[in-house]
Structure 1
Amino acid sequence: MIEDFECLRVDGDVVHRAACQVIEEVPLSIFINGRHFTTAMISPQMRREFVAGHLYSERIVSQVQEIESLEVEGDVARVIVTNPIRAVVPRRPIVSGCGGIASFLDEARLPRIRSGLTIRMEQAREAMEAISLSKTHIATGGVHSVGLFDRSGPLTIVEDIGRHNALDKAIGIQILKGEEFDFGRMFAACTGRVSSDMALKCSVAGIPIVVSRGATTGLAISIAQRTGLGIIGFLRGKRLTVYSNPERFEIG
């Protein structure tokens, strides 16, 4: 996941050669029932989890039982699903992302999150602290961390070059466990901004809350207001900003 490259480090008038640790980025082409669906640029670990989570958050499957087979060999993933027609997506407006892929926004199909989950500000801060301990980020500065938590603590924390990829991997871990899960009892924490693709993926999965140490976007807030997603941004120390559905946060 980490590669060493020769580089020049400059500090004022001091210049020296060094070995710089850089995060690895690879393509992953996904084929659904023999047809190319997308090629994503991701961090190389947890490719199977990424594919499962991506198909779930993009509404190609609604449960893991709809994935008949999932094989990853090198930079190619081959999936057989029970309803491949969902993967035939017409061109639609592309919403913002930070990697090689993006979600599509269909205004008529925005979901409604059916969860009464609330969290305390202390839980939000603890989640942000937990995802900020990434050794890979400390070494390279090149990955985002995303965690899924319930009210008792962390369920899974993953990393990727793209925050939306990391969210897909976190979702994929849960649905591939083969156990009963309920995203309505979980909340997400991420190191990057909450853009529209992140808000849409959380909403589709039914994750009711996302917290971030970064900013959000106007379209993300618009999606959140319509789906019931609570967004906290700029969570740093004792400071934070609640952008949508403040009833989900127990302030004080």
Structure 2
Amino acid sequence: MKAAVTSVDVWRTRQLNHDKDLLAVEEPLQLRLEYGDPSDRSTADIAVTMRTPGNDFELALGFLFTEGIVTDRNDIQTIRYCLQVKDVRERDNVVRISLKPGVDPGLERLKRNFFTSSSCGVCGKTSIDQVKQLCASVQNDYTFVAERVISAPDLLRKGQKVFEYTGGLHASGLFDKSGDLILLREDIGRHNALDKVIGAALEMNKVPLRDHFLVVSGRASFELIQKALMAGIPLVAAVGAPSSLAVELAKQGNMTLLGFVKRGNFNIYCGREHLKI
């Protein structure tokens, strides 16, 4: 398993000396899909994402689910690192996901480029309409208590172990309706951090996450809302601002979306009726 943190030399102007600094690791992860009948298996490289090593299998599972390639964990036979990679140093950077026979990945419908940057996972899509088609409205039956939601970013920040050393990672945290932190994942890519959370929730058989809410450490982008809707999350709280497209998608999906959630204040962009203030 590769490390999430690395040490580099740095010149600090304040002390005017050389020192060591810790940085978040960024490396490519290639997702390779195996599918088809037992007697006629096919493989396809479906994406490369720049990620921070760690929880790679959760990342792969979450990605396949939020892209609509699989519907649950039972569609997958095995997830493992690909040992057939020629360069031994890259074996931990290629994950091979084997689908069960009879599961159609629908690759002809997955119009996506093979490269995804760490900052933007949706930019490889050839059509925003294609992304919207994946999302259904969430079942929003709960009224969340505002005090529990606005205290969640502090709990998320305290749980960010790698960020504590590097200051260079995004985080997604899944909370239950009581405001308890259930899952936290960090990554240099905000969409990767959320895919890791959703992948972990799938492994725990918790999806759809109808009685949970999500907190993200930065802004709420369109793709984060899309992934949250795919997982059935009814409320998303962002420490930063949402984008206009994120608000539009959240409204269409019957989601409660909060922004600038910090120090006891927040903005409600939609879904106020599901928040008790």
**TM-score normalized with structure 2 length:** 0.83
Question: Is 2:33 the counterpart of 1:26?
Answer: no
Residue in structure 1 matched with residue 79 of structure 2 by the alignment: 70
Contact 1:146/1:163 (CA < 8 Å) preserved in 2? yes
State which of 217, 233, 236 in structure 1 corresponds to 2:259.
233
The whole-number CA distance in structure 2 between the counterparts of 1:42 and 1:86 is: 25
What is the deviation of 1:241?
A: 0.5
State which of 62, 67, 86 in structure 2 corresponds to 1:58.
67
Question: Is 2:29 the counterpart of 1:4?
Answer: no
Q: What stretches of structure 1 of length at least 5 have no aligned partner?
A: none
Identity %: 25
Shift in CA distance, 98/116, structure 1 to aligned 2, threshold 3 Å: farther
The whole-number CA distance in structure 2 between the counterparts of 1:238 and 1:225 is: 24
What is the deviation of 1:98?
A: 5.1
Residue in structure 2 matched with residue 148 of structure 1 by the alignment: 174
State which of 40, 45, 51 in structure 1 corresponds to 2:49.
40
The whole-number CA distance in structure 2 between the counterparts of 1:235 and 1:154 is: 16
What is the deviation of 1:100?
A: 5.9
The whole-number CA distance in structure 1 between the counterparts of 2:133 and 2:200 is: 29
Question: Is 2:124 the counterpart of 1:99?
Answer: no
Deviations 1:77-116 (A, max 9, x none): 11122434423335479xx985363274324443111231
Shift in CA distance, 121/229, structure 1 to aligned 2, threshold 3 Å: same
The whole-number CA distance in structure 2 between the counterparts of 1:90 and 1:238 is: 41
What is the deviation of 1:55?
A: 0.8
Shift in CA distance, 84/9, structure 1 to aligned 2, threshold 3 Å: farther
Contact 2:28/2:51 (CA < 8 Å) preserved in 1? yes
Deviations 1:108-152 (A, max 9, x none): 443111231221111112211111112321221101111111113
Task: Give the AA of the match of 1:157.
Answer: L
Number of residues of Structure 1 aligned to a counterpart in Structure 2: 246
Shift in CA distance, 180/225, structure 1 to aligned 2, threshold 3 Å: closer
Residue in structure 2 matched with residue 245 of structure 1 by the alignment: 271
Residue in structure 2 matched with residue 188 of structure 1 by the alignment: 214
Q: Secondary structure at the match of 2:70?
A: coil
Listed as ranges, the matches of 1:72-87 within 5 Å are 72-73=81-82, 74-82=92-100, 83-87=103-107
Q: Secondary structure at the match of 1:128?
A: helix
Q: Secondary structure at the match of 2:210?
A: helix
Contact 2:153/2:239 (CA < 8 Å) preserved in 1? yes
Task: Give the AA of the match of 1:142.
Answer: G
